[in-house]
Amino acid sequence: MADKSSNTNARRALPDDPLAFIRECVRERRVIWTYHVNVRMKGRYISRQMILDFVDTYEIIEAYPDDKYLPSYLACARRGTDLFHVLFGLDVRNSHVRVITSYRPDPGEWDDTLTKRLRP
């Protein structure tokens, strides 16, 4: 019988450099698009191609290493005045990322740079 903790630890593997791992996976198209992001992107005017094309601009702004299914990281993508956030789940064991969601940050919830959450 498999040890549940070893399965969890394998899923929880963290890369040494999360940003480099995300960029590599996106550049090599080792990306899984979740149902959620597919449904949400259209209404938010963010395309898959934009997420792929902005890869060199990603900046990790929040880390969730203990997220429910996979460690995840919120990245800010920016080119000129166009800016959006992308939440990536990192599956190090299978060498891919999952795009969980993408959205345009609400200025009322973020600082002037749109990279730090305002806390109540």
Q: Would 115 be classed as within a structural domain?
A: no
84 burial class (0-12, 13-18, 19+ CB within 10 angstroms)? buried
Q: Would 91 be classed as within a structural domain?
A: yes
Size (the chain), residues: 120
Q: What is the pTM of this model?
A: 0.87
**CATH code, domain with 69:** 3.30.2310.40
Number of structural domains the chain divides into: 1
12 burial class (0-12, 13-18, 19+ CB within 10 angstroms)? middle
Q: What are phi and psi of 2, to 5 degrees?
A: -70, 145
Domain range for residue 18? 4-103
**Tens-binned pLDDT, residue by residue, of the chain (120 aa):** 444 444 455 557 899 999 999 999 999 999 999 988 888 877 788 999 999 999 999 999 999 999 999 999 999 999 999 999 999 999 999 999 999 999 999 999 999 999 999 986
